[in-house]
Each structure stands twice: as structure tokens, then as C-alpha cells.
Amino acid sequence: VKPEQAPKVKELAVAEDVSLSVHGSYYVNLASTDKQKWHASIGRVAQAAKMGDACGARSVTFHSGFIQDKQLTEVFASVKEGMKEVLAEVKDLQIKISPELTGKPSQFGDLGDLIRLTKELREEGYANVGFCFDFAHKYARSNGKFNTYDEFMQILTQIAEGLGDDFLGDMHIHVSGIEYSPKGERNHLLYLPTYGDYQAAGAEIDGMQQLVAGMDPKRLQPNHFNWQDLFRALKKMNVGGYIVCESPILELDAVLMQNFYRGL
């Protein structure tokens, strides 16, 4: 988005009653020991936040860093310091800075780290900070765990205990089908493998048959992420905010999820 386009984006979002979020650059590593890369990462996150705020977005998320051969304590300290730099630069904006729960154990950003990071920064006076919970990433980085109703309830309870019920009331969430390996996330998948399956589920968008037919076969592998029980848990815990679909055909699985949630 160019700066001159931002007011039009904001106007359209308001007119269509659509909440906006931003996914920042993938060239971010707040855990880098290379100070040039570290400062550049801060700049990229801050720039994404500024543009998102101009568009009326409520939250900007990003993958905050790589652990590599460093100790987690060292990585946490570096990410936290980078977050403080970002938050200081955008302190007058309304947008929330929300590092994402990442899909691989080699990346910084599991739940306990994000709760601790958010809590410590808030206690130090930084208000517009949270995190983006990608439930498919949690499932992938744990090699298939955290995929039942009880486990989803466990996650949400852990968040509420760490950050309060108010945090559950305004969450930034990502979901999608996902394939994983022992190293974590590999590919995002469609929830259902065929056009007919989506028809049967009552989820249709213009051009759907052509979109599914043209999809890379690796994106059509069976998906085992249990999104239905996730939605049941979200409703049980009165979770608010917004859910961003990250499937290969965003609109299609978004409609599928929306229809399911409205029926609960």
C-alpha cells in the first residue's frame, strides 16, 4: 500500500465494516546479533505499523526472530529490546504491535514466551502490545499436539491466567489448514480437498471451481487441523477480536469458517 492509498483503504474498510490487520515483512529478525539487521528489522516493523495505522488496521503482526545457536534467554532479551524500540517509535499510534506465534521450534515465539513478553512490556508502561496467536502454527510446531477441544481450552485458559480475560476479548488470531514435519510448519493447506466438498459444506465464492482446480496439489493434501473444535472453544471462552484466514484460498476457507461459527 502506498501512503496516498491509505485513506482510501481506511474509508472502504469502514464502509464495508471490515476489520483490518497487517502482516509485516518477513525480513525481520529482532534476535539477530548483526546490529545492522537488528535495526533494519525494527524499522520494518515500525513502518508496517505506521502504514497499517493510516489504513485503520488494529494490529500488525510479524515473525520476530530466529533462535539459531543462541540461548533462549539471549533471544528473548534481544526481541524484547527490539520491541521496546518499535513501541517507542509508534507510541502515538492506535495500532497494536503483535509478534506472531510461529510455526517452527527454530523460531522465537511460542506461547509462554509471548505471554511473558507482553506482560513484561505492559508492566514497563508499553500499552499497545500483544501477540498474534496462530493456532495452526501451534499445532505444527508441536508436531500434532494442541489439536483437541480440551487442549484449545487449555491454551485459552493459560492466556487468560497470564494476561487477563480482557486479553481474550480482543485477540488477533490466525488459522488455516497446515502440513508439518518434525521441524514444524511446511505448507498451508485448504481445509477441504475438492470443489464438491466445499459445495456440500455450503461454502461457495465466485470462481471457486476454477480456483480449487488450479491449486498446487501439495496444498490439497488432507488437513488434520481441528478448526471446528477450536471455534467451539473460542465461543465457550467468549473470545473476541478477529480471525484471519491464511489458507491458500483465503476467501473460501473464511466463508467455510464463518458459516460454521454462525451455526454454533
What is the pLDDT at residue 204? 86
What is the pLDDT at residue 146? 98
Domains and CATH numbers, the chain: 1-130 (3.20.20.150), 152-264 (no CATH)
Confidence of residue 7 (pLDDT cuts 50, 70, 90): very high
Q: CA–CA separation, 111 vs 141, rounded Å?
A: 11
Encode pLDDT of 118-137 as tens digits.
999 999 999 999 999 999 99
What is the pLDDT at residue 10? 98
Residue with cell 482446480: 213
What is the pLDDT at residue 83? 99
Name the 3-class secondary structure at 150. Answer: helix
Percent pLDDT > 70 in the chain is: 100
Encode pLDDT of 56-76 as tens digits.
999 999 999 999 999 999 999
What is the pLDDT at residue 208? 85
CA distances in angstroms from 156 to 112, 167, 175, 258, listed in the order given: 12, 10, 15, 20
Encode pLDDT of 184-216 as tens digits.
999 999 999 888 999 999 998 888 889 888 989
Q: Which three cell numbers stand for residue 8?
A: 482510501
Confidence of residue 222 (pLDDT cuts 50, 70, 90): very high
Confidence of residue 111 (pLDDT cuts 50, 70, 90): very high
Half-sphere exposure of 17 (CA within 13 A, CB side): 0
